[in-house]
Structure 1
Amino acid sequence: MVKPIQKDKELITDINSTINKTEGFRAWWLGQSGFLIQYQGKHLLFDPYLSDSLSKKYAQTDKPHTRISERVVEPSMLNMVDVVTSSHNHTDHLDAETLVPIFENNPSIKFIIPEANRTFVCERLKCETDFPIGLNDLQSVDIEGFKITGVPAAHNSIERDEAGNLKFMGFIVSFGTYKIYHSGDTLWYDGIVEVLKDFKVDLAFLPINGNKPERRVAGNLNFEEAARLGKEIGAKLTIPHHYDLFEFNTENPENFIQKAEEYGINYKILQLGECIEVF
């Protein structure tokens, strides 16, 4: 079992210890695709999954979701969150057991979703239909100093509802002089580089678990594609995600390291619960 380098109270103490820092920003990996961003005392949380809901759901099936890492933090302990995202409707990105406690402990929180998913999201989370803030591709919203822009994601294809709204989304977040790209879940699709490169992102969070039909789940970039995409969009720093959670759907980050070095990109492999500071 992969253990976080810090978890629960130790993690919260670490987050709180830098809340008054005015220079740079910080990012903590909370597992799978979940990252907490801290900037100027404000916090944005990308796609958290902090429960065992999927392991319980699939325990008696032919597709068990066996955990290979410990949970980083009890979601109710995250009482400093200003903005949280869900990039699409899959449970490891839209988990009621994670999000409801976060909502309860952050009464002013704002919740960003693809507009196409509003009905599904509100039914799963038992929230009011006007609570989520819905985006479509290249639509933006400004919240607590974060400008959040939706961009397409292909999981496994780019899908839209009848009104043309994206069902799978990544996010560009601009704050101060910085820009971050969080991929959500995505494959490489025609035009992805053109969509992203003009943003000139400082940091790209990219999945590496790949797309293997035998897993019987929608796939993602593999480790080589993630390294190549980081290079082609000109990301100043690339951090991989979407691995080390479930036994059947993971990847060895050493494979990403090899490709990242071949492509000559700046990268960082975070341990669970680890923080990186960017200036």
Structure 2
Amino acid sequence: MLKVALRKNESLWAEVLQQSTDARQFQLWWLGQSGFLLQWQGKRVLFDPYLSDSLTRKYAHTNKPHVRISERVIDPALLQGIDILSSSHNHTDHLDAETLQPLLANNPQAAFVIPEANRDFVVERVGCARDLPLGLNDGQSLQLEPFTLHGVPAAHNELERDAQGNCRFMGYVLEFGPWKIYHSGDTLWYPGIVEVLKPFQVDIALLPINGNDPARGVAGNLNAREAVELGLAIGAKLVIPHHYDLFEFNTADPQIFVDLAEKMRQPYKVLALGEGIKI
């Protein structure tokens, strides 16, 4: 039995459209795995959406089946008015052609932000023009009014760079109004991560909790304890966990995160699939 989304498809999109455009608040929805939709003043940012069953089909008859344990939250064809669309790295649950092609077709105005190191791969997978994506590297920023997007390194499992020194795995800090939101992409804790993130004075950190188990045969992430400890170390006002409850072989129990966050006094919010919050 698949885990059911709190809101999905037309119901979720109706909620998005009904939200206030008051500049004193923004809204954030979890779309499953590492996908988040942020809305402020009617402007929309979509982080790392995976909204298909492409991986389940691809690995169905292999020794690493990607068995879904939750339903898809929203048909990507429903997502309109997207101003920024991001991919943090080349793994399909963060760069999915079946998700991105309808999104780009329906949102020709969207800025498609990727790690510059991944341009050739992205163009081939998505089938877009080579100059369509906006490439970013760590230490660089993009001004996409009313947002600024800052690139930060991610280790998945290593800090990998291309021959020009560009990061292959990245996270992004989105700055707008008085807020800064850190979307980790996929990352482990690496030397210097706190020093990279702390100066941003992050308000909300979106952090993975599925951990790093080599037996899974895939690159890993922070576990629940590391996510809480990283939130504390960088002074995050709120931590929201992600990268769980999608595939049976690569998930985690969010209650472990909740228990640790409460014990260590890290403010947090666990979102249900398709659930939004107002800040």
Normalising by structure 1, what TM-score?
0.99
Q: Is the 8 A contact 1:84 1:111 kept in 2?
A: yes
Aligned letter for 1:257?
A: V
CA–CA separation in structure 2 for the residues paired with 1:97 and 1:37: 21
| 2:69 alignment counterpart | 68
| 1:258 alignment counterpart | 259
Aligned letter for 1:274?
A: E
Aligned to 1:240, what secondary structure does the other structure show? strand
CA–CA separation in structure 2 for the residues paired with 1:22 and 1:232: 29
| TM-aligned CA deviation for residue 40 of structure 1 | 1.1
| TM-aligned CA deviation for residue 157 of structure 1 | 0.5
Moved more, 21-30 or 96-105: 21-30
Aligned to 2:36, what secondary structure does the other structure show? strand
Normalising by structure 2, what TM-score?
0.99
| 2:163 alignment counterpart | 162
| 2:145 alignment counterpart | 144
Q: Does 1:16 pair with 2:23?
A: no
| 1:119 alignment counterpart | 120
Q: Is the 8 A contact 2:21 2:40 kept in 1?
A: no
Q: Is the 8 A contact 2:51 2:72 kept in 1?
A: yes
CA–CA separation in structure 1 for the residues paired with 2:86 and 2:51: 14
| 2:98 alignment counterpart | 97
| 2:198 alignment counterpart | 197
CA–CA separation in structure 1 for the residues paired with 2:59 and 2:258: 32
| TM-aligned CA deviation for residue 21 of structure 1 | 3.0
Count of matched residue positions in the alignment of Structure 1 and Structure 2: 278
Task: Identify unmatched segments of 5+ residues in structure 2.
Answer: none
Aligned to 1:198, what secondary structure does the other structure show? helix
Moved more, 12-21 or 239-248: 12-21
| TM-aligned CA deviation for residue 80 of structure 1 | 1.9
Aligned letter for 2:270?
A: I
CA–CA separation in structure 2 for the residues paired with 1:60 and 1:121: 26
Aligned to 1:111, what secondary structure does the other structure show? strand
CA–CA separation in structure 1 for the residues paired with 2:147 and 2:68: 33
Q: 1:82-123: per-residue Cα shift (whole Å, max 9, x none)?
A: 100000000000000000000111111110000000000000
| TM-aligned CA deviation for residue 18 of structure 1 | 1.0
CA–CA separation in structure 2 for the residues paired with 1:250 and 1:98: 21
CA–CA separation in structure 2 for the residues paired with 1:184 and 1:237: 17
Aligned to 2:200, what secondary structure does the other structure show? coil
Aligned letter for 1:132?
A: P
Q: Does 1:212 pair with 2:213?
A: yes
Q: 1:46-79: per-residue Cα shift (whole Å, max 9, x none)?
A: 0000000000000010100000000000000001
RMSD of the TM alignment (CA)?
Answer: 0.7
| TM-aligned CA deviation for residue 19 of structure 1 | 5.0
Aligned letter for 2:103?
A: I
Q: How does 1:264-279 map to 2 (within 5 A)?
A: 264-278=265-279
Aligned to 2:138, what secondary structure does the other structure show? coil
| TM-aligned CA deviation for residue 216 of structure 1 | 0.2
Aligned to 2:260, what secondary structure does the other structure show? helix
